[in-house]
Amino acid sequence: MKKTKYNVAVIGVGVVGIEMLRVLKQRNFPVGKLTVLARSARNINVDGVSYPVQAVSNEAFEGVDIALFAGTEGEKGAAVTYASEAVKRGAVVIDNGADFRMDPKVPLVIPEVNAKDVKKHKGIIANPNCSTIQMVAALWPIYQKAGLKRVVVTTLQASSGAGKSAVEQLKEENSIIAKGGYENVHADLLDRSMPQQLAYNVFPHIGGFSDFDYTSEEWKLVKEAHKIMHDDKINISATTVRVPVRTGHSEAVYIETDKVISPEDARCALSKSSGIIVIDDPKNSLYPMPKDAEGKDEVFVGRIRKDPFVKNGLWLWVVADNLRKGAATNAVQIAECVISN
């Protein structure tokens, strides 16, 4: 697919779709014609730029080279209905939803980890889950150097990972508490998208509960990591937690490596890796935080420390903007890989 310009469609104008429009512009993707599609036609404004939105249809994909589906976690996304039609018309579909991720015929790609898998696509490429992207991006340099036996991860996931309605719920709950006190939240908040109160609270419930009482979000971390890294022998266990943060997921990641690797060597391997920024000076209160990652495309790693009781055990603290590297940026990076092949 060698051209100087590419016709791009962005499907969905929620928080991820909006971020895709930003990222395309900021990364100077060689866009010829840009088409924005959603359930209904309207105009939207993003950073002072007006975008006409068309109602999505099969015919809207005529002449499209790259179709970026924003996806909706936990629901069947538009790609289920329209991806095959887009591919028939010559487009490469990059889907941020969960529907194709575990399809053995569909590559699941983090460009810094397995960019070569892009070449295997048959029209559709899947974007991994946001929490998977930042975890695997941080694990990959260590995996290459020392191997991995075990990963135990607890995620602290921002409200924006559940969409615009969850961000609004957090904002509204904070406002209600500030005005009238904690006890008024349940009485005053009529429109709740989260299963629990989000403001001033955390809860370990992201996705539906399934096998072994794990949530679907927890299984994504396991199964997607295995597929991306081409290694299903790594023992991975996860707990996913929703926290009252607007944007930016944090993860406490414990690993046991095949070979012993010191924190210093792990720090060095991560620092040399594309897309990773190490911030690791806890004595001076320097470590990754979601407020600092918001709006950035890198994965930030800190608190790299040895387990004093297990010789091949290490802890990592991993933070990234879930709307950028966790979704929109990774999808556009995949598109960059597609047009470079």
Give the catalytic positions in this structure: 130, 249
**Chain-centroid distance, C-alpha 333:** 13
Backbone φ, ψ for residue 66 (5° rounding): -125, 125
10 Å Cβ neighbour count for 1?
12
Residue 42 DSSP one-character state: E
> In the numeric block, which tokens belong to residue 308?
């004093």
Phi-psi region of 5 (alpha: psi -120 to 50; beta: other; left: phi over 0): beta
β-strands 235-242, 124-126: how paired? Answer: unpaired
Backbone φ, ψ for residue 239 (5° rounding): -130, 125
> In the numeric block, which tokens belong to residue 233?
């022998």
**Chain-centroid distance, C-alpha 223:** 15
Q: Dihedral through CA 179, CA 181, CA 184, CA 189, nearest 10? A: 50
> In the numeric block, which tokens belong to residue 250?
């944090």
Selection from 146, 128, 174 nearest residue 257 by Cα: 146
Helix/strand/coil for 105 = coil
Helix/strand/coil for 144 = helix
Q: Where are the alpha helices (DSSP H) in 181-277?
A: 185-188, 216-229, 263-271
Q: Which residues pair with 154 in a beta bridge?
A: 239, 252
Q: Can you tell me the distance from the alpha carbon of 137 to that of 275, in angstroms, rounded to the nearest whole number?
A: 8
Number of alpha carbons in the 13 Å side-chain half-sphere of residue 189 = 29
State which amino acid sits at residue 135.
M
